[in-house]
């Protein structure tokens, strides 16, 4: 039988980002975006099922058998943690692991624009960190919270599915609630969090109308709220939130969002070619009066131009960041262009 702990320890030792367990094949490991077979035995259906049973309680395994999908976290004591999704494919169990460092990275070491550090000092409002799966959203939010934890005395509540980085109280009091075990869903956790005297609320994902509405209400009532969406740009993020609502409520939500939104940080991770590791391509939107007017008056299409002309205050488009990464020799040009919003414009700049 394939030993789960051996696989997880190997992944942590080799700084692997993801592990995939699929029956009929050896474990697959992704390192610096490259997916390769690991030299472990082929996983059988019995192996995969036993692995899930090793990581969750009998009650949660019964839930998994019913719902056919389960999100949770697991750890190797003293070495590191993993976010886990167990699911069924071809009537057999499969598992996807995402490695999570046991230490929250320092914000200054994430190669993010300097303006991101100012999010630590915000008193209230909504900050959204967006991007594809694996783009570093959770790491960015955890690092911001970690900086806040060193600097201020606040009550921070996180709602996560599952808990990823373990955030230990320092100056702040931090409570981390895991969806499924500590509370049933994001909307319920948010509803009750408002009665728990929080200063800061981190919502793992705004994935439905109720959660989105509760997060915006929390920001509107004087809390600082962080959350994520799977969107590529700031303007797309704003459109996605508005489109969640029925048409009759969209004017109202534009007004609420214009009043509460503080910033959007949109990320994509690239494999570095100048050294080992990854580097983010980042779009930054800061909610100035001009941006708030665009949101309120349904002129979201003008926001990219505002970002482009506001670099002096810390804003930048994704394409500008990708162009700089290519010019500096940090990333492969073809990979950069594949993630650009307007690749033809970047080609023109790079050809000069």
Supply the CATH number for residue 252's domain. 3.40.50.300
Instruction: Please tell me the distance from the alpha carbon of residue 2 to that of residue 6, in angstroms, as a whole number.
Output: 8
Last residue of a domain, one of 100, 123, 156: 100
Question: Which residues on adjacent β-strands are paired with residue 266?
Answer: 130, 283
Q: Are residues 95 and 111 in the same domain?
A: no
Instruction: Please tell me the distance from the alpha carbon of residue 149 to that of residue 200, in angstroms, as a whole number.
Output: 11
Instruction: Please tell me the distance from the alpha carbon of residue 80 to that of residue 82, in angstroms, as a whole number.
Output: 7
Range of the domain at 83: 4-100
Q: Are residues 166 and 94 in the same domain?
A: no
Q: Are residues 96 and 121 in the same domain?
A: no
Q: Are residues 54 and 160 in the same domain?
A: no
Looking at the structure of the chain, the number of domains it has is 2
Q: Are residues 207 and 327 in the same domain?
A: yes
**Apex 22 CA angle, 159 and 48, nearest 5:** 75
* Residue 170: DSSP 8-state: S
Q: Are residues 49 and 74 in the same domain?
A: yes
Q: Are residues 176 and 79 in the same domain?
A: no
Give the domain CATH number at 74.
Answer: 3.30.450.90
Q: Are residues 35 and 138 in the same domain?
A: no
Bond preceding residue 162 cis, omega within 30 of 0:
yes
**Is this prediction's pTM over 0.85?**
yes
Q: Are residues 42 and 125 in the same domain?
A: no
What does the pLDDT profile of the chain (352 residues) look like in tens digits? 679 999 999 999 998 999 999 999 999 999 888 899 999 999 999 999 999 999 999 999 999 999 999 999 898 988 888 999 999 999 999 999 999 877 899 999 999 999 999 999 999 999 999 999 889 999 999 999 999 999 999 999 999 988 888 899 999 999 999 998 899 999 999 999 999 999 999 999 999 999 999 999 999 999 999 999 999 999 999 999 999 999 999 999 999 999 999 999 999 999 999 998 899 999 999 999 999 999 999 999 999 999 999 999 999 999 999 999 999 999 999 999 999 999 999 999 998 7
HSE-CB for 204 with a 13 A CA cutoff: 18
Output the CA torsion sign for 12, 16, 22, 25.
negative
Contact 5, 76 (CB under 8 A): yes
Q: Are residues 159 and 14 in the same domain?
A: no
Last residue of a domain, one of 70, 100, 130: 100
Q: Are residues 96 and 145 in the same domain?
A: no
Contact 219, 241 (CB under 8 A): no
Q: Are residues 233 and 332 in the same domain?
A: yes
Instruction: Please tell me the distance from the alpha carbon of residue 9 to that of residue 109, in angstroms, as a whole number.
Output: 25
Last residue of a domain, one of 100, 125, 154: 100
């Amino acid at each position: 039988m394939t030993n789960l702990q051996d696989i997880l320890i190997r992944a942590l030792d080799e700084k692997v980002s993801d592990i995939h367990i699929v029956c009929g094949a050896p474990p697959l490991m992704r390192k610096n975006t490259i997916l390769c077979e690991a030299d472990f035995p082929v996983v059988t259906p019995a192996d995969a099922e036993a692995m899930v049973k090793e990581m969750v309680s009998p009650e949660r395994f019964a839930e998994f058998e019913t719902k056919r999908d389960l999100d949770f976290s697991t750890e190797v004591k003293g070495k590191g943690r993993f976010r886990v999704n167990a699911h069924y494919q071809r009537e057999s169990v499969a598992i996807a692991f995402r490695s999570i460092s046991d230490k929250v990275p320092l914000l200054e070491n994430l190669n993010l624009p300097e303006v991101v550090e100012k999010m630590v000092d915000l008193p209230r409002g909504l900050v959204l960190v967006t991007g594809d799966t694996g783009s570093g959203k959770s790491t960015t939010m955890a690092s911001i919270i970690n900086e806040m934890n060193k600097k201020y005395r606040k009550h921070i509540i996180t709602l996560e599915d599952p808990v990823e980085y373990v955030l230990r109280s320092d100056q702040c009091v931090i409570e981390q609630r895991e969806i499924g075990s500590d509370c049933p869903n994001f909307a319920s956790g948010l509803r009750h969090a408002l009665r728990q005297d929080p200063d800061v609320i981190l919502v793992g994902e705004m994935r439905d109308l109720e959660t989105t509405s509760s997060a915006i209400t929390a920001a509107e009532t004087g809390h600082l709220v962080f959350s994520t969406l799977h969107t590529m740009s700031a303007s797309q993020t704003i459109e996605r939130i508005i489109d969640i609502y029925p048409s009759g409520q969209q004017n109202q939500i534009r007004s609420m969002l214009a009043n509460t939104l503080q910033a959007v940080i949109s990320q994509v991770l690239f494999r570095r070619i100048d050294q080992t590791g990854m580097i983010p391509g980042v779009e930054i939107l800061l909610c100035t009066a001009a941006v708030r007017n665009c949101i309120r008056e349904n002129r979201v299409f003008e926001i990219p131009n505002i970002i482009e002309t506001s670099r002096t205050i810390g804003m930048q488009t994704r394409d500008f960041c990708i162009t700089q990464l290519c010019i500096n020799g940090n990333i492969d040009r073809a990979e950069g262009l594949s993630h650009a919003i307007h690749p033809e414009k970047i080609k023109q700049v790079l050809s000069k």
